[in-house]
Amino acid sequence: MPARVLVVDDDPEIRMLLSRRLRRSGYSVDDAADGEEALALVEKATPDVVVTDMAMPRLDGLGLIAALRKIDPQLPVIVLTGHGSLDNAIQAMRDGTLFDYLRKPLDDMALIDVAVGRACEFRDLRRLAREADQVVAMRELAVTACDRILNPLNAITMGLATLARADCTPEARAKAVAIVEQAVDTITRVVRRMRTVSRYTPREVALDLREIDLERATTEQQDSL
């Protein structure tokens, strides 16, 4: 599937020239006349790379970059800048909000191919790194959840053993039943959490994957026995 590039420029000739060049290079291209129109397109489908002018009506390049950072902080943005907005582009790169910039006019159209190609490689590498981290996090969660389930299972076993004793007093029976019920509730919560995790796709970021912690609850159960 070809990478998707969004070209944003209020000059229709430049927009058409860039779009045609990138399509010939094998990219899927959408175009917009200003930042507001670009954001409307991004809301429908996030592109892999954005190529934008700086000076535009309604919403300029800097405003567009700021809005895109809220939608997808890792989205590579390439700015086409004239002499008047060069300082803004350089500062944006220093701030880490801009992937690259090109000076207008483009004397060599191959420059846009190189810049977009590098941006796509950057995007792919970041995606692969994120997916790898998600896989590792999910594996760690699975191991952790299994370990946490074993503790309440042990509590259930010990509680059932207490209930099976012929000399089990009413007080001991009531305590054992409460421990078993609490252990079952603990296991149920872990299983439900695992079902939630199973619905994540590799590109989704689940910041709390490692946050299941039933150590305190299961320790209290075992101490009660």
Q: Are both 13 and 86 inside the same structural domain?
A: yes
Residue 136 neighbours by CB under 8 Å, 6+ apart? none
**pLDDT per residue over 14-69, tens digit each?**
999 999 999 999 999 999 999 999 999 999 999 999 999 988 888 988 899 889 98
Residue 69 lies in a domain: yes
pLDDT at 159 over 90: no
Per the structure block, which two tokens stand in for 80? Answer: 């086409």
The pair phi, psi for residue 202, each rounded to 5°, is -55, -30
Is-contact 183 221, C-beta < 8 A? yes
Residue 55 lies in a domain: yes
Residue 122 lies in a domain: no
Is-contact 41 32, C-beta < 8 A? yes
Residue 100 lies in a domain: yes
Q: Are both 139 and 202 inside the same structural domain?
A: yes
Is-contact 180 159, C-beta < 8 A? yes
Q: Give the global pTM.
A: 0.58
How sure is the predictor about 92, in pLDDT bands with cuts at 50, 70 and 90? low
Q: Are both 137 and 218 inside the same structural domain?
A: yes
pLDDT at 163 over 80: yes
Q: Are both 194 and 141 inside the same structural domain?
A: yes
Q: Are both 73 and 143 inside the same structural domain?
A: no
How sure is the predictor about 3, in pLDDT bands with cuts at 50, 70 and 90? very high
Residue 53 lies in a domain: yes
Q: Are both 10 and 101 inside the same structural domain?
A: yes
> How many domains are contained in the chain?
2
Q: Are both 214 and 152 inside the same structural domain?
A: yes
Q: What is the mean pLDDT of residues 164-170?
A: 88
**What are the DSSP calls for 69-99, one per residue?**
HHH-TT--EEEEE-GGGHHHHHHHHHHT--S
| Average pLDDT value for the chain | 80
Residue 61 lies in a domain: yes
Q: What is the mean pLDDT of residues 74-92?
A: 74
180: exposed, middle or buried (C-beta count within 10 Å: 0-12, 13-18, 19+)? Answer: buried
Q: Which domain holds residue 33?
A: 4-107
**pLDDT per residue over 107-136, tens digit each?**
888 999 999 999 888 888 877 776 666 666
Return the pLDDT at 90.
67
CATH number, domain containing residue 96? 3.40.50.2300
Q: What is the mean pLDDT of residues 140-152?
A: 76
Angle at the Cα of 94 from the Cα atoms of 90 and 99, rounded to 5 degrees: 75
